[in-house]
Amino acid sequence: MWTIFAFGSAFFAGVTSILAKCGIRKTDSTVATAIRTIMVLLFSWLMVFIVGSQDQISSIGGRTLCFLILSGLCTGASWLCYFKALQLGDVNKVVPIDKSSVVLTILLAFLFLGEPIGLFQGAGALLIGAGTFLMIEKKAAGNTPAQGKSWLLYALGSAIFASLTSILGKVGIAGVESNLGTAIRTAVVLVMAWGMVLVTGKMGAVKEVAGKELVFICISGLATGASWLCYYRALQMGPASVVVPIDKLSILVTIAFSWLVFREKLTARSGWGLAQITAGTLVMLL
């Protein structure tokens, strides 16, 4: 059953990237992140009340709450980096780097959760790492040299924080219902995101968001909420070292839609890299 949730997470995550890109053409990425987090929060708490887990809040232990908060902070940092990278670079360049977090997640799961690294997982990690390297272009088409460098740094930051999110999230939901854990983490992300808007002096930009982009931002938030609920349910039921690779198959959904919506084309080098990432992910499932 957890594999179904993992694949559901991959689909919704893939759609999220495209919807978010449509919503940040002119809107500041930090502002967009803060707005869409509201939608994720509403969605996640709705699921809490649907499954009736709100009564468990008082029984959450201090250790569990601490890891949920830390996981939320890492998620917020990952989001801020990811959507800034999306705003500066092409979807089919940013997403592969973000998805490479699976390699670091496997290592962290081995070190801190005691999940073994088998032959297939090791081979898969090498393929994903090699594929990601091939998909990194020296300069994003149409960007200035500064943009070409900055989107890469933000994408790498997103991958690092995403891997930390997975490990901390796995520990944090060990003693709490997955929907409730997701809702608590989202509340932390909301506070962090709006805190960044205030600190960077971008509150005025909130009122300037175009109606069409606002719609895409909100829908991307709902897609993220659906992806999260599936993802953390899968994490609760299955091993992180397998759930995470399945979730990273969202890159196929994203690349397909990036071509359909933005007409972003892969070079031969990038196509070979994507094939290796996909092969590495499938090998891990063995």
143 pLDDT more than 60: no
CA 95/CA 14 separation, integer angstroms: 9
CA 228/CA 13 separation, integer angstroms: 8
Rounded average pLDDT over 81-108: 86
149 pLDDT more than 80: no
Give the per-residue pLDDT at 142: 46
Rounded average pLDDT over 113-139: 81
241 pLDDT more than 50: yes
Give the per-residue pLDDT at 140: 45
Residue with tokens 């994507």: 274
Residue 208's Cβ-count burial label (10 Å; 0-12, 13-18, 19+) is exposed
Give the per-residue pLDDT at 249: 82
Q: Which two tokens stand for residue 185?
A: 């983490």
Pick the residue with more confidence: 241 or 23? 23
Q: Which two tokens stand for residue 46?
A: 């709705």
Residue with tokens 């081995």: 110
Three-state secondary structure call for residue 31: helix
CB-CB contact of 176 with 65 (8 Å): no
Give the per-residue pLDDT at 275: 92
CA 115/CA 108 separation, integer angstroms: 9
> In sequence order, which ranges of 174-249 are alpha helices (DSSP H)?
178-199, 203-206, 211-237, 240-247
CA 168/CA 257 separation, integer angstroms: 31
Sign of the dihedral through C-alpha 128, 130, 131, 133: positive
Give the per-residue pLDDT at 135: 81
Q: What is the model's pTM?
A: 0.78
| DSSP codes of every residue in 129-148 | HHHHHHH--SS-TT--HHHH
Listed residue (259, 260, 257, 230) closest to 246, CA to CA: 230
Residue with tokens 């559901």: 8
CA 234/CA 178 separation, integer angstroms: 9
How many residues comprise the chain? 286
Listed residue (54, 16, 39, 40) closest to 220, CA to CA: 16
CA 5/CA 100 separation, integer angstroms: 21
pLDDT tens figures, 6-39: 899 999 989 998 998 899 988 999 999 999 999 9
pLDDT tens figures, 28-84: 999 999 999 999 899 889 889 988 888 888 888 888 889 899 999 999 999 999 999
Please state the three-class secondary structure of 107-125 as a single string. Answer: HHHHHHCCCCCCHHHHHHH
Rounded average pLDDT over 103-114: 85
- Going from N- to C-terminal start, the domains of the chain cover 2-284
- Cβ atoms within 10 Å, residue 207: 7
Give the per-residue pLDDT at 33: 93
CA 10/CA 41 separation, integer angstroms: 19
